Amino acid sequence: MNRRGEYGKLVRDRIPQIIRESGATPVTYTAGPQEYRSRLRDKLGEEVAEFLEADDARAPEELADVLEAVYALAADLGIDMDQVEEIRRAKADERGGFAGRVVWTGNR
């Protein structure tokens, strides 16, 4: 059950085919636009949680799953990834990135 109390979860497009090839019969339906966006947000949270729990060996695969959810959300919002990159770059130019490993502990 997800955070809204609904059953099921958004899966990659080929998962039903893979389930059928394993000899099982998947039960699926196509989400409407509002449900799809909501389930994409849930999926992003799920993928981030899996990344956070992953060890260093598994982290790249989990990070790729996070990125797949981000790509799908951007497309659903009508934003192309070039726009996302432009926004990211502008924020990095204005505020910096994270490469400096700076940890803020408050003000005096």
Rounded Cα–Cα distance for residues 105 and 60 (Å) = 29
The residue type found at 67 is: L
DSSP 31: P
pLDDT recorded at residue 4: 56
**Alpha-carbon torsion 52, 53, 56, 58, what sign?**
negative
pLDDT recorded at residue 7: 85
Q: What percent of the chain has pLDDT over 90?
A: 94
pLDDT recorded at residue 90: 98
C-alpha dist (Å) from residue 68 to 6, 55, 62, 76, 106:
23, 19, 10, 12, 35
Look up the pTM and report it: 0.85
Q: With contact defined as beta carbons under 8 Å apart, do 36 and 76 qualify?
A: yes
Q: Which two tokens stand for residue 32?
A: 């409407």
